[in-house]
Structure formats: structure tokens, C-alpha cells
Amino acid sequence: MKIGILGSGSMGSGIAQVASTAGHEVLVSDTNSAALKLAQKNLLKILNRLAEKGNIDDATAKSIFGRVYFVDNMPAFAECGLVIEAIVEDLAIKKSVFEKLEAITPKDCILATNTSSLPVAAIAAACEQPERVLGIHFFNPAPLMKLVEIIPAIQTGPAVVERAKMLIESWDKLAVLAKDTPGFVVNRVARPFYGEALRILEEGIADVATIDWAMTELGGFRMGPFTLMDFIGNDVNYTVTETVFRAFYYDPRYKPAFTQKRLAEAGWLGRKSGHGFYNYAEGAQNPNPAKDKKLGKTIFYRILVMLINEAAEALYFNIASRNDIDLAMTKGVNYPKGLLRWADEIGIARCVKMMDALHMEYLEDRYRCSPLLRNMAREGKEFYG
């Protein structure tokens, strides 16, 4: 099967590398010829580096590169069995593109969007055959991240979903099914990791370094929330939060923080700009954490229970299955444990008690406990009983 990739940015190029490594002939298309040339150059550099490190041999590197063709026109997709769009997150542009793709590709070609936040149903509605459209959401960098979210629109045909899932799994990826709701699984469930850390900072409970220390040293997360926001980019992370907030009709659980908005407005985007929550300039002195274990545990459990509550809500509203939610968070954002399994370990009743304590303290709907957690605590149930 020939695979078409629309968009030659880091995500599009990464997906192309994955598909070619799996043995497919891949066509990467972009209207920007300079971007195409850069993508071709970068892919060759990445493959050569992998060969130098001994991850692959020279012959494999050459064959992977040789199966990827960089073209400046969409009609080249005329013989593709799957086309994945990985362009700007703009609904009007995506709808226009899918309308064109449908006219170019064979009737049985699957048309997929790599959107991380836009409604797949709205994109599919641009096509006369919306049943062949779905979301296939990779995580950056696509060659390294195992997780892929498969998001059927309400119009998507069941056979298309099954074909897409089987194909992605044949690329040595872990595919999870998610309902077409804002943020899908990962970008929805992960919001409290950033949002509650920012709230704790804004309340003056602890500084950036201490919150990061609590989550990494006591919680076992690979990166603290502020280190991760600086890594992602405060502009990108803020935009995702704002998009999810708006899409959920301004539910206070997803409310963005002014602190991050101001950093983005100031151009303090994180690592890519040299300054964010931390200063990345050579010789810069960043604050040391206050290694107070009592304070650290308070921070850790407050953020953790908010994450667990969000995962429980996702299960309650059938966004994804129990296993897929936990798989998404461990393989999509490298959490040390699945959140629902973690809930069992610390106790469902304890989670409810912590959520109720936060709600009583703040009297904000942000801290409402999931009905699923409350019912499970009442009945003495566990997620993995």
C-alpha cells in the first residue's frame, strides 16, 4: 500500500519515517517547496545518525530513505490506500484539503487527520464519503512515541476503523480507540498535570522548582510539569489548554492560567526561546527546590488525584476503555503508572476524600468529584478488581 502524508513538518516527516520503516512507499506532499527540501535533508540526517549509532545498518537507512518521495502536488496521492494529513490546526483549511483529497484518491482510500484537538466529525463533513474519514493522532516525535490515538468520527465506517487500527499496529505502534471529543484521551486527561501545578504556583504554595521536584522525586514522573511545559513550549501548551477549555463550553476543570498566558505573550516560550519557567541561558542560576517532604506529598497527591479524577471522567463518559486510558497515559506521555491502576493502589475512597476536601476548600466546580469514583467508593469497587 502506498501511503500519502500531507505536510512535511516534523510530525509529517516523522510519520513518513514510521511508514517507510514498515516497508511502505511513502509520498510526502507540501505546498512549500523550501519546507519539502528541508524535510528531505532532515530525514536523511536522522537516518544517517541512526546508522552511525548502530540502531540500524547503512543498507536499512538507505532503503527507508529510498521509499520516501517528496512531491509538491496532491494529485500524486492518486494511488494511495491511506493519506494522513498533518498540517496547520485550522478547521477551515483542513476541510478544504479533505474535499480536495477525496476527489484525488481512490474510493477505498482511508483519509485521516492527525489533529490533536479539532473535531474529526467536522473535518469528515467536508467529504461526500465521510465514512472513510477518521483521526489518526501520532505523538511527537512519531518514530519514538509508541502510542497512536485512533478517533472515529460519528460518520466513520466500522470497517475503516478496523483497517486503520490494524495498519497502525502493523507499524509497531500501540493503537488506542478514543471518542471524538475535545483532546481525545491524552490531551484531555493530562490537563491537570499542567493546570493544577500552575494553580499551586499562583496560590504561592510552592515555587516552580519545588513543584517539579515533588512530581519527579516523590511521584516518579520523568519530567516535572514546568520542565515539561518549557519543553513543549508555553505557547503550544497554553493554546491546547485554551482550545480544550473552549471546546468543553468553558468547564472550569480546564481553565487556563494567566501565568502561562503572560509567559507566552512575553515570548518566554521555554527551551526554544531560551527562557520560560526556567532560564536556559548559559550560566543562568535557577532556584533550588525546597525539599520539604510533607509539602512535596501535598503537592503530588493534589495533582495526582486531579489526574485520576479526569481519567475516571473519561471512562465514565465512554471516551475510551479502561485499558486504553491507562495505556494512553503510560505510552503517550510516559506516566509512571496508569492513572486508573494508580487509583486502585491508593484507594478509590481516598481519592474521593481528597477531591471532596479540595471542593470544600475552594467551592469551585473545578474540583467536583467524578460520579464514577463516588459510586465505586460507595460500592467498594476497584478498576482492576
Residue from 24, 29, 117, 149 carrying the catalytic annotation? 149
* 160 lies in the same domain as 197: no
- At 3 the pLDDT is 98
Same domain for 327 and 199? yes
pLDDT value at residue 385: 86
Q: How much is the pLDDT for 11? A: 95
Residue 102: its pLDDT value, please? 97
Q: pLDDT band at residue 120, thresholds of 50, 70 and 90? A: very high
Final residue of a structural domain among 130, 160, 177: 177
**Mean pLDDT across 252-273:** 97
Choosing from 132, 148, 177, the residue where a domain stops is 177
Give the predicted TM-score (pTM) of the model: 0.94
pLDDT at 205 over 90: yes
Q: Map residue 177 onto helix, strand or coil.
A: strand
Q: Please give the share of the chain, as a percent, with pLDDT higher than 90.
A: 98
- Do 268 and 337 reside in the same domain of the chain? yes
d(CA 140, CA 120): 20
171 and 190, same structural domain?
Answer: no
pLDDT of residue 101: 97
Same domain for 262 and 170: no
Number of Cβ atoms within 10 Å of the Cβ of 343: 27
Query: Among residues 8, 20, 114, 187, which one is catalytic?
Result: 187
Which domain range does residue 172 map to? 2-177
Residue 294: pLDDT over 90: yes
Do 227 and 157 form a contact (C-beta atoms < 8 A)? no
Q: Is residue 279 domain-shared with residue 356, that is, in the same domain?
A: yes
Say if residue 173 is in the same domain as residue 262: no
pLDDT at residue 146 is higher than 90: yes
- Please tell me which residue in 13, 20, 102, 137 is annotated as part of the active site: 137
For residue 251, what pLDDT is reported? 97
Q: Calculate mean pLDDT across residues 62-88.
A: 96
The runs of H, that is alpha helices, within the chain are 10-21, 33-52, 58-66, 91-104, 120-124, 158-170, 186-189, 191-202, 208-213, 225-232, 234-247, 258-266, 293-316, 322-332, 339-346, 348-362, 371-379
Q: CB of 198 within 8 A of CB of 259?
A: yes
User: Is the domain of 200 the same as that of 158?
Assistant: no
Position 137 scores a pLDDT of 98
- Angle ∠(55,58,63) on CA atoms, nearest 5: 105
Q: State the average pLDDT over residues 193-201.
A: 98
Q: What are the pLDDT digits (tens) for 319-366?
A: 999 999 999 999 999 999 999 999 999 999 999 999 999 999 999 999
pLDDT in tens, 123-135: 999 999 999 999 9
Determine the 3-state secondary structure of 369 from DSSP: coil
pLDDT band at 176 (very low <50, low <70, confident <90, very high): very high
Number of domains forming the structure of the chain:
2
Please spell the DSSP secondary structure of 13-35, one letter per residue: HHHHHHHHHTT-EEEEE-S-HHH
The pairing of beta strand 133-138 with beta strand 147-152: antiparallel
Task: Please report, for the domain that includes residue 328, its CATH number.
Answer: 1.10.1040.50
Spatial distance between the Cα atoms of 183 and 160, rounded to a whole number of angstroms:
22
Q: Is 137 a catalytic residue?
A: yes
**Res. 117: pLDDT tops 90:** no
One domain, residues 207 and 356: yes
Are residues 319 and 206 part of one domain?
Answer: yes
11 & 157 share domain:
yes
Q: Within this chain, do residues 170 and 196 fall inside the same structural domain, yes or no?
A: no
Is there a cis peptide before residue 141, judged by omega within 30 degrees of 0?
A: yes
Give the HSE-up count for residue 75: Cα atoms under 13 Å, Cβ half-sphere: 0
Q: Which three cell numbers stand for residue 82?
A: 491511506
User: Looking at 116, 150, 177, which one is the last position of a domain?
Assistant: 177
User: Which CATH number is 155's domain given?
Assistant: 3.40.50.720
pLDDT at 207: 98
Query: 342: which 3 cell numbers?
Result: 494508580
Mean pLDDT value across residues 150-169: 98
- Cα torsion at 283, 227, 301, 219 (round to 10°)? -80
Instruction: Using the Cα atoms of residue 136, residue 140, residue 143 and residue 144 in order, give the sign of their dihedral.
Output: negative
Mean pLDDT of all residues in 72-86:
96
275 classed as catalytic: no
Please give the Cα distance from 261 to 39 (Å, whole number): 31
> pLDDT tens, 22-52?
999 999 999 999 999 999 999 999 999 999 9
Name residues whose C-beta falls within 8 Å of residue 117's C-beta, 6 or more positions apart in sequence.
Answer: 89, 182, 183, 187, 240, 243, 244, 247
Candidates 13, 114, 116, 370; catalytic one? 116
Better-scored residue on pLDDT, 210 or 385: 210
359 is catalytic: no
